Amino acid sequence: MEKTIFQYSSPGRIGVSLPVLDVPETTISKKFARKEAIGLPQVTEGQAMRHFVRLSTKNFNIEEGLYPLGSCTMKYNPRLHEFLARIEGLAAVHPLSGDSSVQGTLGIMYKLGESLCEITGFDSVTLQPAAGAQGEFAGLMLIKNWQEARGQEHRNEVLMPDSAHGTNPATSTLAGLKVVSVKSDEFGKVDVEDLRQKAGENTCAFMLTNPNTLGIFESNIEEITKIIHDAGGLNYMDGANMNAMLGIARPGDMGFDVCHLNLHKTFSTPHGGGGPGSGPVCCNEILRPFLPPSTVVKSDDGYTLLDSTHKSIGRLLAFHGNVGVLYRAYAYIRTMGSKGLREASEVALINANYMKTRIKPYYDVPHDDGPCMHEFVASGAEMAKKGVKTLDIAKRLLDYGFHAPTIYFPLIVKEALMIEPTETESLESIDAFIDAMIAIAEEIDSKPHLVTDAPVNTPVLRLDEVKAVKDLCLVEPIE
């Protein structure tokens, strides 16, 4: 077992050198003073480095191999951006600095916002949301506030397809709105008739991921957004799959009123093992008055940060968003330019369709009605009948040196395997992944135990999640 950092601890060891106190001491009254030691480890810098480097070697990552997580857009994270975001003049800036002393950062925020509006076809933006889910919350609150402002506060329903990502319904609840699920048709798209029946006088908003969570473009999109508009609702696009559409199509041109983007997906900022992300929200003019504070405006005197919450849905974070992530996304857009962004989406589409075509003889691909966009969903339902679950296939892929696809999502596909290669993978690595998928399909017939026993080439064998819940151990016990 890998030791925990606490097991390296010995009294007197320390990993930082601090200056000697150069001011007189002021007594810390006993009444307030912390009575017992905290229980932090005591190690040297070298010990700490060895521990965390050892831990790091137990992680799969995008620089190690292909990471086909559907809807997560695990593309390469350019190294230059890590350097740029750490430039002292950009990193060492207090969030409550006066505007005139942070013109560089405000300039980046303004220009990034402009670019994101151009990419989505909208004219206003907030960069404050820390992640996609917070962007969804901001977006729904914008719509809710707009409905209230026009005397339609009774509208309390958010319509969304049954293929929606879990954050969509969870966000609706947070916003105090009721989820109305709309059926998907046999092609995995929104069932327009079902939508027509469910849209009505209580419709506040419609939430849709486009391309949807099956990787399929909602070809009836104009009819769909019109149904909602006619019913008095507004259309929200979950931009998780925007990597399919850069320079090809824009939510603002499809009848959407607002959308969020995931900078940590489409715009190449690193996932960091779960975050930070960034979920800017772009919207049309009618929603602009309700945007959260921390928007940047430009005038002859330079850039100004608007910090008022008047009329706004309010602040989502204490400060102005995950600014360090914004730096990276801006650098990405500057490197790519308009042609580069379109090229990224084009190749993302080619890579996904190529993978789908080559995998299809071995795995069922339901809802396959023509080209997919940047990802596709296969099903392990046939394999499950042979006693090998999608979870097993995912684990076996780890043995082959690949990360697993997104599994068991969307919920409308049994034993789902959602696969997104992204444009930063080469034909060679894509072929290697396909070969592994084919090899596993053959193993399922010939040597199924290899799959059900997987993984075996990983730092640990398959972990017992049931035991983790039953015998909860969330912290290292104090010795």
Partner 1 sequence: MSIFVPNGKAQREQMLGVIGVEKFEDLLSPIPESVRLKKELNLPSPASEIELVKEFNGFAEQNTSAKLVCFRGAGAYDHYIPAAIDNILTRSEFLTAYTPYQAEVSQGTLQAIFEYQTMISRLTGCDAANACMYDGASAVAEAALMAIRATRKKRILVAGSLNPRTIDVIHTYMDNGDFQINEVPFNEKGLIDLDAAEQLAEGGVAALVLQYPNYFGSIEDVQAAADLVHKFKGLLIVAADPIALGVIEAPGNMGADVVVGEGQPMGVAMSYGGPYVGFMATNTKYLRKMPGRIVGRTEDRAGNPGYVLTLQTREQHIKRAKATSNICSNQALMALANVIYLTLTGETGFADIAQQNWHKSHYLNDKLLEIDGVTDVFDTPFCREFVINLPVSAVDAAIALEEDGYLAGLPIPGLGEGAMMLTATEKRTKEEIDGFVDAIKKHIQGVM
Taking the complex as a whole, how short is the minimal distance between the CB of residue 49 and partner 1, in angstroms?
Answer: 6
21 binds partner 1 per the rule CB under 8 A:
yes
* Stretch of 231-239, 328-336, 377-385, 438-446 contacting partner 1, by CB under 8 A: 328-336
- Residues 390, 391, 394, 398: what is their CA dihedral angle, to the nearest 10 degrees? -150
Q: Amino acid letter at 321?
A: G
Among candidates 471, 65, 85, 51, which has minimal Cα distance to 263? 85
- From candidates 143, 224, 281, 331, binder to partner 1 by CB under 8 A: 331
Q: Which is nearer to partner 1, 196 or 462 (CB)?
A: 462
How far is Cα 264 from Cα 175, in angstroms, rounded to an integer? 24
Among 123, 185, 194, 346, binds partner 1 (CB under 8 A): 346
Q: Pick the closer one to partner 1 by CB: 262 or 379.
A: 262
CB 83, min distance to partner 1, A = 8
Choice between 83 and 445, CB closer to partner 1: 83
In the complex, the smallest distance separating the C-beta of residue 384 from partner 1, rounded to whole angstroms, is 19
- If one asks whether residue 321 binds partner 1 (CB under 8 A), the answer comes out as yes
Tell whether residue 170 is a contact of partner 1 (CB under 8 A): yes
What tokens appear for 242 in the block? 């925007």
Taking the complex as a whole, the smallest distance from the CB of residue 466 to partner 1 amounts, in Å, to 8
Residues 6+ apart with CB under 8 A from 62: 74, 75, 76, 77, 270
Site string for partner 1, 128-167 (x = CB under 8 A): --xxxxx-xx---x-----------------------xxx
61 interacts with partner 1 by CB under 8 A? yes
276 touching partner 1, by CB under 8 A: yes
How many Cα atoms within 13 Å fall on the side-chain side of residue 88? 0
Minimum CB separation from partner 1 for residue 446, in Å? 22
Would you count residue 172 as binding partner 1 (CB under 8 A)? Answer: yes
Q: Does 308 bind partner 1 (CB under 8 A)?
A: no
- Minimum Å gap between C-beta 364 and partner 1 is 18
Q: Which of 48, 306, 384, 438 binds partner 1 (CB under 8 A)?
A: 48
Contacts of 58 (CB under 8 A, 6+ apart): 2, 459
Q: Is 205 in contact with 158 (CB distance < 8 Å)?
A: yes
Task: Pick the binder of partner 1 from 198, 260, 264, 367 (CB under 8 A).
Answer: 264
Binding of partner 1 by 400 (CB under 8 A): no
Tokens of 292: 């959260």
Give 360's contacts (C-beta < 8 A, 6+ positions apart): 368, 378
Which one of 253, 285, 435, 442 is in contact with partner 1 (CB under 8 A)? Answer: 253
| Residue whose C-alpha is closest to residue 166's, from 150, 151, 149, 179 | 179
Check: CB of residue 201 under 8 Å from CB of residue 153.
no
Interface pick for partner 1 out of 49, 226, 297, 445 (rule CB under 8 A): 49
**Given 186, 300, 301, 471, the residue binding partner 1 (CB under 8 A):** 471
Q: Binding to partner 1 by residue 250, rule CB under 8 A?
A: yes
Task: Pick from 183, 196, 288, 334 the residue near partner 1 by CB under 8 A.
Answer: 334
Contact pattern for partner 1 over residues 73 through 112, marking x by CB under 8 A: -xxxxx-x-xxxxxxxxxxxxxxxxx-xxxxxx-xx--x-
Nearest to 403, CA basis, from 58, 55, 64: 64
Q: Which residue has the tokens 């396959």?
A: 368
Number of Cβ atoms within 10 Å of the Cβ of 446: 7
Q: How far apart are CA 473 and CA 258, in angstroms?
A: 42
Q: Which of 4, 193, 311, 442 binds partner 1 (CB under 8 A)?
A: 4
Q: What is the Cβ-side half-sphere exposure of residue 93, based on CA atoms within 13 angstroms?
A: 22
Total number of residues binding partner 1 (CB under 8 A)? Answer: 204
CA distances for 92 relative to 85, 265, 320, 324, 325, angstroms: 10, 26, 15, 11, 15
Cβ atoms < 10 Å from Cβ of 107: 15
The contact mask relative to partner 1 for 409-448 (x = CB under 8 A, - = no) is: x-------------xxxxx---------------------
Closest CA to 159 of 101, 227, 112, 220: 227
